[in-house]
């Protein structure tokens, strides 16, 4: 049975509860709106419907607060606009256009439900100005009615969400944390379990392909869970005093997981450059890697002693066991024992190379991050048992993309406003509303172009439903109970379908359009022509929105890659000037959101190339599209930037604050050289500055004796590792 049929013929218990809660919330909002004799009760229904998309109690409360606050701000702006331009509708609409652009700009820069609040500020202002432009005398009553209706719908949704089958954000965060931690440990296990010897046999290439697929799957699972954690965690503050502790635990889990992924990627890339660089050329044969990369790989592979290789194999087996069936206490004990083995091994080998010393040090770092990740999961599940201080993440602000989103929203609203003024069509306001609403809601989507046609399908399905239930059957309902029973049937079906991800883009618009086209109120008329008229206006609004997104598309992965790489390189340069006390927290917080964005782009890119490729070749090897997907070029660059920043923080902490001027100058040259080479490798060019700058820094440190011999060896090993990483990344970028 297809998922579409199963959603309605064999619905899950969760789907039935979700649909029941949504219908009850909307029915309560409609009853209260009728009871208080509000002007347009259907706005209370729409308000309650939008808050049911995420039915967890804390999220409903947060979204309701943002909705009411945004509506209040939009109402205040509408008061100012109408006070200045009540007699000149053109200037009033021009002012609304500017306000919509400002709100969408803010929605693109903010996250979570704050973005929704910005959209509601734009919609509320537009509705009030448009409805009162022909009757300015009714302005204050209309503004008060809109604020009352939307607030009433939000209140009803919050009450039903809290009292009927409540779903807590804390349980949701606990499940996401378990998913992220288990996926991270499985990724670590796969990385350490791979043998150091590569080989170029067909069997070995098949194994590498399977290992790539498994590691990519675990990394994407972990990053997706971390992304959802950061988005949803803020709602936990509305579920009691322990909510803030859970939020701090989420921030800690995200930061340390990102550091772990960055360090582990560098280690894995050091041992297996061929894993990150596709080994096939255009004709399907094995292509040799660049001589420089091959030479470094052979030289460094020979320097890893057998005890170190055996230790990594034991790490892989232990981490896999932890991810599968070990409890937290046993996992913590195992990790501490493994850290001790790494320390004993690094101290017990007299002929250890600088690179191997750095590798063992990085292994201890990885295991330390894993211990903190386990603690963060405990904080999320039981915040009362732990006292934790953890600053929030810094979000990446792409002002260029925000400006594009604002210009698109202003263009869509201007087109529908001109159409409304030129035709004097009463229902033209519906087109303006939908254009503003959807151009704002979709700013948080990476690529909303495929979603908007699904909204249009929801409208096409809603029209016959409205004609049957809203015009024929509702005309025979003379009391509230039969009225709301009939009206709830399509709403219930739509909410049931929205639980299925494949149907959500159609089912939720189906619910909203059923409300907008029926418009239940005390003086409603059952006119088929009027329903079709409003349906046509809604279709025009959606078509204009689709055209707007086609003419002014969302910047793709190329744009985001350039912006994120430029911002990362700028932060790397700034590491030379910032104080060492909060260096890691500052850089890690700013890189966290960038890595999550790059991971989302990698997922989108993988899905697109998966759909385009024709499958595997006759010998079972991945084709060129598969190799591009598995190379993870965007995410690889982000992880490299995180690793470089972490390494610079290590060097600065070891040198301390009282550093001789020549050492300061050499360190600054190295940091700027790393930033420049990082940007060069993002363009597919080999690094040129960091090797000379690193050698110069090692010489100056040796002359002034500002670092112990052991630390100097770790520094030399880190520089060698970064050099190989940048070479491999540059090769990967050239092959895209």
Q: What is the pLDDT of residues 125-150, one digit of tens each?
A: 998 888 887 777 777 888 888 888 88
- Nearest in space to 407 (alpha carbons), one of 543, 598, 542, 555: 555
Query: Residue 152 class from Cβ within 10 Å (0-12 exposed, 13-18 middle, 19+ buried)?
Result: buried
Collapsed DSSP state (helix, strand, coil) of residue 170: helix
What local confidence, expressed as pLDDT, does residue 622 receive? 43
Query: Residue 87 class from Cβ within 10 Å (0-12 exposed, 13-18 middle, 19+ buried)?
Result: exposed
Higher-confidence position of 616 and 698: 698
A 10 A CB-CB count for 688 gives 12
Query: Do 690 and 719 form a contact (C-beta atoms < 8 A)?
Result: yes
- What residue has token string 């701090």? 248
Query: Residue 484 class from Cβ within 10 Å (0-12 exposed, 13-18 middle, 19+ buried)?
Result: buried
Query: Do 335 and 367 form a contact (C-beta atoms < 8 A)?
Result: yes
For residue 24 the two structure tokens come to: 């009850």
Kindly state the DSSP code that residue 325 receives in the 8-state scheme. Answer: T
As a whole number, mean pLDDT of residues 327-341 equals: 82
- Confidence check: pLDDT of 391 > 70: no
What local confidence, expressed as pLDDT, does residue 99 receive? 96
424: pLDDT confidence band, cut at 50, 70 and 90?
confident
As a whole number, mean pLDDT of residues 470-489 equals: 87
Round the CA-based radius of gyration of the chain to a whole number and report it. Answer: 29
A 10 A CB-CB count for 14 gives 12
What local confidence, expressed as pLDDT, does residue 242 receive? 83
How many residues are given for the chain? 736
DSSP 123-189: HHHHHHHHHHSS-GGGHHHHHHHHHHHHHHHHHHHHHHHHHSS---HHHHHHHHHHHHHHHHHHHHH
As a whole number, mean pLDDT of residues 706-719 equals: 84
Domain boundaries, the chain: 3-167+398-551, 170-391+558-734
What local confidence, expressed as pLDDT, does residue 464 receive? 93
Distance in angstroms (rounded) separating the CA atoms of residues 575 and 584: 10
As a whole number, mean pLDDT of residues 330-359 equals: 78
What local confidence, expressed as pLDDT, does residue 286 receive? 40
- What residue has token string 């250890």? 352
Instruction: Of 58-72, 76-90, 153-167, 266-280, give the lowest mean pLDDT range.
Output: 266-280
537: pLDDT confidence band, cut at 50, 70 and 90?
very high
Strand partners, 280: 286
Kindly state the DSSP code that residue 238 receives in the 8-state scheme. Answer: G
What local confidence, expressed as pLDDT, does residue 660 receive? 87
Query: Do 54 and 22 form a contact (C-beta atoms < 8 A)?
Result: no
Strand partners, 286: 280
What local confidence, expressed as pLDDT, does residue 624 receive? 41
Distance in angstroms (rounded) separating the CA atoms of residues 264 and 272: 12
What is the signed CA dihedral for 629, 632, 635, 640, rounded to 10 degrees? -170
Distance in angstroms (rounded) separating the CA atoms of residues 442 and 452: 9
305: pLDDT confidence band, cut at 50, 70 and 90?
confident
* Positive or negative: CA dihedral 525, 528, 530, 536: positive
Distance in angstroms (rounded) separating the CA atoms of residues 463 and 534: 10
Higher-confidence position of 207 and 256: 256
A 10 A CB-CB count for 423 gives 10
For residue 564 the two structure tokens come to: 């994120």
327 Cβ contact list (under 8 Å, min separation 6): none
Kindly state the DSSP code that residue 164 receives in the 8-state scheme. Answer: S
Query: Do 118 and 104 form a contact (C-beta atoms < 8 A)?
Result: yes
602 Cβ contact list (under 8 Å, min separation 6): 220, 632, 634, 635
Query: Residue 69 class from Cβ within 10 Å (0-12 exposed, 13-18 middle, 19+ buried)?
Result: middle
What local confidence, expressed as pLDDT, does residue 617 receive? 41
Distance in angstroms (rounded) separating the CA atoms of residues 715 and 651: 7
- Nearest in space to 441 (alpha carbons), one of 22, 20, 63: 63
Cα-based distances in Å from 222 to 216, 227, 566: 10, 9, 26
Cα of 125 vs its chain's centroid, Å = 29
Answer left, alpha or beta for residue 424, where phi above 0 means left and psi between -120 and 50 means alpha.
left
- pTM of the predicted protein model: 0.81
As a whole number, mean pLDDT of residues 674-685 equals: 90
481 Cβ contact list (under 8 Å, min separation 6): none
Query: Do 520 and 411 form a contact (C-beta atoms < 8 A)?
Result: no
What local confidence, expressed as pLDDT, does residue 363 receive? 85
613: pLDDT confidence band, cut at 50, 70 and 90?
low
Distance in angstroms (rounded) separating the CA atoms of residues 185 and 470: 54
As a whole number, mean pLDDT of residues 464-492 equals: 88
Collapsed DSSP state (helix, strand, coil) of residue 286: strand
Question: What percent of the residues of the chain are helix, what percent strand, and what percent coil, each to the nearest 5?
Answer: 80, 0, 20
As a whole number, mean pLDDT of residues 365-384 equals: 87
Kindly state the DSSP code that residue 280 receives in the 8-state scheme. Answer: B
- Confidence check: pLDDT of 333 > 80: yes
What local confidence, expressed as pLDDT, does residue 461 receive? 92
- Nearest in space to 272 (alpha carbons), one of 307, 306, 309: 309
Cα of 134 vs its chain's centroid, Å = 43
């Amino acid at each position: 049975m297809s998922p579409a049929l199963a959603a309605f013929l064999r619905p899950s218990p969760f789907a039935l509860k979700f649909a029941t809660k949504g219908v009850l919330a909307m029915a309560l909002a409609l009853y209260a709106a009728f009871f208080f004799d509000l002007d347009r009760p259907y706005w209370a229904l729409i308000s309650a419907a939008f808050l049911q998309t995420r039915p967890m109690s804390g999220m409903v409360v947060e979204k309701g607060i943002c909705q009411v606050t945004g509506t209040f701000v939009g109402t205040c702006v509408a008061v100012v606009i109408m006070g200045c331009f009540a007699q000149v509708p053109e200037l009033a609409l021009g002012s609304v256009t500017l306000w919509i652009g400002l709100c969408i700009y803010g929605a693109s820069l903010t996250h979570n439900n704050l973005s929704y609040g910005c959209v509601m500020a734009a919609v509320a202002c537009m509705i009030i100005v448009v409805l009162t432009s022909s009757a300015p005398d009714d302005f204050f009553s209309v503004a008060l009615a809109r604020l009352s209706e939307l607030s009433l719908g939000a209140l009803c949704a919050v009450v039903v969400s809290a009292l009927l089958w409540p779903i807590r954000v804390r349980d949701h965060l606990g499940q996401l944390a378990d998913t992220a931690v288990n996926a991270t440990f499985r990724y670590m296990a796969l990385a350490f379990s791979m043998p150091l010897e590569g080989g170029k046999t067909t069997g070995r290439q098949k194994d590498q392909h399977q290992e790539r697929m498994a590691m990519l799957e675990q990394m994407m699972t972990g990053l997706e869970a971390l992304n959802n954690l950061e988005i949803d965690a803020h709602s936990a503050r509305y579920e009691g005093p322990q909510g803030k502790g859970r939020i701090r635990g989420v921030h800690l889990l995200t930061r340390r997981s990102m550091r772990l992924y960055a360090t582990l990627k560098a280690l894995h890339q050091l041992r297996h450059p061929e894993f990150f660089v596709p080994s096939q050329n255009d004709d399907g044969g094995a292509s040799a890697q660049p001589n420089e990369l091959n030479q470094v790989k052979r030289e460094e592979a020979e320097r890893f002693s057998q005890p170190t290789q055996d230790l990594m194999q034991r790490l892989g087996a232990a981490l896999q066991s932890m991810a599968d069936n070990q409890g937290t206490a046993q996992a913590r004990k195992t990790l501490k024992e493994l850290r001790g083995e790494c320390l004993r091994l690094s101290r017990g080998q007299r002929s250890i190379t600088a690179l191997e010393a750095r590798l063992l040090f990085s292994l201890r770092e990885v295991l330390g991050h894993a211990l903190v990740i386990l603690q963060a999961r405990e904080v999320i599940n039981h915040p009362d048992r732990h006292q934790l201080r953890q600053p929030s993440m810094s979000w990446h602000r792409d002002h260029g993309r925000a400006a594009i989103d604002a210009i698109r929203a202003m263009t869509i609203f201007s087109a529908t406003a001109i159409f409304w003024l030129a035709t004097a069509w009463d229902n033209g306001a519906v087109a303006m509303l939908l254009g503003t609403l959807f151009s704002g809601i979709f700013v948080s989507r990476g690529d909303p172009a495929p979603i908007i046609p699904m909204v249009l399908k929801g409208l096409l399905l809603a029209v016959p439903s409205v004609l049957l239930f809203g015009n024929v059957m509702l005309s025979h309902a003379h009391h509230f109970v039969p009225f709301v029973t009939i009206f709830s049937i399509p709403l219930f079906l739509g909410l049931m379908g929205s639980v299925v991800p494949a149907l959500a883009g159609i089912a939720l618009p189906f619910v909203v359009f059923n409300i907008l086209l029926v418009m239940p109120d005390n003086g409603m008329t059952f006119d088929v022509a009027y329903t079709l008229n409003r349906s046509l206006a809604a279709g025009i609004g959606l078509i204009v929105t689709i055209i707007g997104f086609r003419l002014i598309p969302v910047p793709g992965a190329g744009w985001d890659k350039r912006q994120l790489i430029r911002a990362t390189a700028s932060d790397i340069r700034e590491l030379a000037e910032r104080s060492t006390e909060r260096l890691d927290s500052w850089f890690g917080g700013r890189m966290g959101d960038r890595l999550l964005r790059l991971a989302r782009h990698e997922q989108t890119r993988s899905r697109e190339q998966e759909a385009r490729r024709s499958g595997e070749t006759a010998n079972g090897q991945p084709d060129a599209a598969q190799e591009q997907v598995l190379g993870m070029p965007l995410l690889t660059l982000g992880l490299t930037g995180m690793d470089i920043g972490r390494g610079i923080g290590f060097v600065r902490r070891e040198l301390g604050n009282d550093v001789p001027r020549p050492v300061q100058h050499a360190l600054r040259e190295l940091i700027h050289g790393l930033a420049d080479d990082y940007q060069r490798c993002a363009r597919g060019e080999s690094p040129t500055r960091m090797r000379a700058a690193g050698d110069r820094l090692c010489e100056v440190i040796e002359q002034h004796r500002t670092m112990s011999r052991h630390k100097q060896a770790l520094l030399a090993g880190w520089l060698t590792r970064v050099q190989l990483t940048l070479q491999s990344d540059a090769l990967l970028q050239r092959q895209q």
